[in-house]
Amino acid sequence: PNSQGTKEADNSKTGEKVLPPSQTSPPSPKPISPNPTNSPQVNPSPNPAPSQSSGKSTEESAANPQKGIFVTPVGLNLTDGSRDIPSQPAKPKSDNKTEFAIDDLNGLGIKSGQVIQLKVTILIDETGKARLPSQEEDANPTQILSGNISIENAKQLANRIIEGWRFQPTYMENTPVTQAYNLEIRVSVP
């Protein structure tokens, strides 16, 4: 009998060695899908090996979905649907960031276990870049629909999310134009 620390199947008749279960891969119906956070390394092990200690643990924590804040765009509508109807309204691009590390949103007083829903007015320019309007352009560009967050923190949260998002621009006839939209976003904090 084998008294080693690893388990081997008793195949002494054939002389075949069977690897311990930790070294074999169970058949998987589909491959591991890529992380939405553009992680440069894929490690199929459930516990990543500390191969490098370069002090860049923030990249690893950003790739951990358990510590992420998830953002979902709920609706994008013209601020005034009765005037300046575009021939092609703006649309969010599919590669917009929808998961943020908690570190990305530090200082906003967001507590775990809540869902925050905001309605923000955004301006999407002719290149597809979005921004919140200035106080002069819109006195109240951010509204809290649900969740426990101050209006000032809600504005900062919306700005941090929107500043990295891109859109297909609005077209009037065949010309891209800047257009104001109302955007509802849902922020889920695990």
Say how many domains are in the chain. 1
- Does residue 180 lie in a domain region? yes
Q: What is residue 39's predicted lDDT score, i.e. its pLDDT?
A: 37
* Lowest-confidence pick of 9-13, 64-68, 93-97: 9-13
Percent of the chain whose pLDDT exceeds 90: 45
* Lowest-confidence pick of 69-73, 135-139, 149-153, 167-171: 135-139
- Does residue 54 lie in a domain region? no
- Does residue 130 lie in a domain region? yes
Tell me how far apart the alpha carbons of residues 171 and 150 are, in angstroms, rounded to a whole number. 35
pLDDT at residue 72 tops 50? yes
Q: What is residue 138's predicted lDDT score, i.e. its pLDDT?
A: 81
Q: Which residue has the higher pLDDT, 77 or 1?
A: 77
- Does residue 168 lie in a domain region? yes
pLDDT at residue 46 tops 70? no
- Does residue 126 lie in a domain region? yes
pLDDT at residue 101 tops 50? yes
Q: Which domain holds residue 127?
A: 65-189
- Does residue 83 lie in a domain region? yes
Q: In this predicted model, what pLDDT tens digit does every residue of 107-160 receive, in sequence order?
A: 888 888 899 999 999 999 999 999 999 888 887 789 999 999 999 999 999 999
Q: What is residue 12's predicted lDDT score, i.e. its pLDDT?
A: 47
Are 128 and 169 a contacting pair, CB within 8 Å? yes
pLDDT at residue 8 tops 50? no
- The beta strands (E) that lie in the chain are given as 68-78, 91-92, 99-101, 114-124, 130-131, 142-146, 167-168, 170-172, 175-177, 179-189
The per-residue pLDDT of the chain, averaged, comes to 74
pLDDT band at residue 1 under the 50/70/90 scheme? low
Q: Which residue has the higher pLDDT, 87 or 66?
A: 87
Percent of the chain whose pLDDT exceeds 70: 65
Residue 132: name the closest of 106, 96, 156 by CA: 156
- Does residue 31 lie in a domain region? no
Query: pTM score, two decimals?
Result: 0.62
Tell me how far apart the alpha carbons of residues 109 and 14 are, in angstroms, rounded to a whole number. 64
- Does residue 113 lie in a domain region? yes
pLDDT at residue 45 tops 90? no
